[in-house]
Amino acid sequence: MMQRLSGKKFTVSIQGCRTNQYEGEAIAAALEAEGAVCGEESPDIVVVVTCTITAVADRKCRKLIRRARRENPHAVIAACGCYAQKVTEAERELLDIDIVLGNRLKHRLPELVAERLAGGAPRIEVDGDIERENIWDGLTLDRPRLHTRAFLKVQDGCNHYCSYCIVPSVRGKPVSRPLAEAVDEARRITESGCPEIVLTGVHLGLYDKLPQLVRRIGALPKIKRLRFGSIEPFAVNDELLAALADCPAFCEHLHMPLQSGDDGVLSSMKRGYRAADFAEIAARARSVLGDSLHISTDLMVGFPTEDDAAFRRSLDFVKGQGFGKVHVFPYSPREGTPAAAMEQLRSEAVHRRAAEALELAAELHKDFCSQWIGRECAILTEESDGTAAKGLTRNYIRVTAKAAAKINEEIIVIPAKYGEDGLITEGISENIQFNGDVSVI
């Protein structure tokens, strides 16, 4: 079979979420299948997988694209993904992008790059009906390239339309990957030597056969660990919890975005649940999956309807939930969303709340991690310099240990203290530098 990109060098730069991480790696796999090779020096092809979750994300994407063109004046520059979904012809010309490729069409990238290299005109390929069409983007992954664990995308799109979120309009209608296809890809990934898979999607809980998928992937002979990237709380039902409890490979960690612990703010956000609903779901998950379950979350502060009292209620709720990791996000208005049209809080108030929330997040993380000091923990090694190793426990605590472990080797360690990045065994510096064994694109 003729390889259209034989000998061409490429780089892939990935912005944003875990779904983008999967898509960036799958794009790299597709380019390699056409004969291209990864090479940072003087690439012929530069791909930017874009994000548009905030206005800041847009600016970062534009900066990356400008730098790519400046450093590689003769390369084919391709921008794909969420920011690319809404790029106009005028903006394409201004940024000097050769190929703009929207969501659900990334599988076409090798074809379009080959056409451009052969002298074809610059072009924009975007599905304008993405919010209505039931299309799956046919990307596949053979092995991870950025991480020791593999992200496996099984779902795309969202129709919940939270009032602050632009994602439904750029990611489109919810669609699920065929079950057999997802399981086959998981099998190929684990047989490549990768023992850990993270299931991901724009809204993973909308995957139509998630409990069955967990059971099927969990039964693969070479899988050691199975995780979720993130799952909305209302998707964590009894059927799913039963499947997780029956899956030996499933790791005791659920990232369930809360966003706010105040009912009024949750209503304004159009999240579809109350704080008490979230608490009930979290308690049920712990009762089924055990007390070692790590529930991490996202917390947004400074939403337009969040007054001081609502902020205090939100923090009080977070304190009482026993979260491990809390990702704090200061709200910023996203053009095109209902929340952007609301009266906005002063930026000083938003930043002050974010700082306070971050202090609480640090306390909660230390409290959660410190429960495992002096106890045996199994970590799967992600980084190693030959004398020390770093990896994650099954319940998503990062541990640095004195051990001559190999990448993807599971070892038993006993943490001795807490550091800013997680737990540490005796005799290990908190600032240890590793040799970069994990490959990057």
* 307-332 pLDDT per residue, tens: 999 999 999 999 999 999 999 999 99
The per-residue pLDDT for 322 is 95
Give the number of other Cβ atoms within 10 Å of residue 69's Cβ.
17
Q: What is the mean pLDDT of residues 90-110?
A: 96
Q: Which residue has the tokens 């590689």?
A: 72
pLDDT of 243 higher than 60? yes
User: Taking the domain 150-369, which CATH number applies?
Assistant: 3.80.30.20
What pTM does this model have?
Answer: 0.94
Q: What is the mean pLDDT of residues 346-375?
A: 97
pLDDT of 435 higher than 60? no
79-109 per-residue burial string, b: 16 or more CB within 10 A, e: under 16: bbbbbbbbbeeebbeebebbbbbbbbbbbbb
Q: Which of 78-87, 91-100, 235-244, 416-425 has the lowest mean pLDDT?
A: 416-425
The per-residue pLDDT for 440 is 34
Cα–Cα distance between 8 and 41 in angstroms, integer?
A: 12
The per-residue pLDDT for 300 is 98
The per-residue pLDDT for 420 is 83
Cα–Cα distance between 116 and 428 in angstroms, integer?
A: 51
* 262-277 pLDDT per residue, tens: 999 999 999 999 999 9
Name beta bridge partners: 365: none
Provide, rounded to the nearest whole percent, the portion of the chain with pLDDT above 90: 91
Model confidence at 335, pLDDT cuts 50, 70, 90, reads very high
β-strands 294-301, 326-330 pairing: parallel
Ramachandran assignment for 33, one of left (phi > 0), alpha (psi -120 to 50 degrees), beta (any other): alpha
* 158-216 pLDDT per residue, tens: 999 999 999 999 999 999 999 999 999 999 999 999 999 999 999 999 999 999 999 99
Q: What is the mean pLDDT of residues 109-125?
A: 96
The per-residue pLDDT for 434 is 66
Can you give the length of the chain in residues?
Answer: 441
Please, are residues 139 and 106 in contact by the beta-carbon 8 Å criterion?
Answer: yes
The per-residue pLDDT for 1 is 56
Model confidence at 437, pLDDT cuts 50, 70, 90, reads very low
Give 405's Cβ-side CA count (13 Å radius): 24
Q: What is the mean pLDDT of residues 404-427?
A: 92
Provide, rounded to the nearest whole percent, the portion of the chain with pLDDT above 70: 98
The per-residue pLDDT for 79 is 97
Single out the residue of 118, 136, 234, 119 nearest to residue 182, CA to CA.
Answer: 136
Spell out the CATH class of 9-125: alpha beta
The per-residue pLDDT for 386 is 85
Average pLDDT of the chain, as a whole number:
94
Name beta bridge partners: 50: 81
Model confidence at 146, pLDDT cuts 50, 70, 90, reads confident
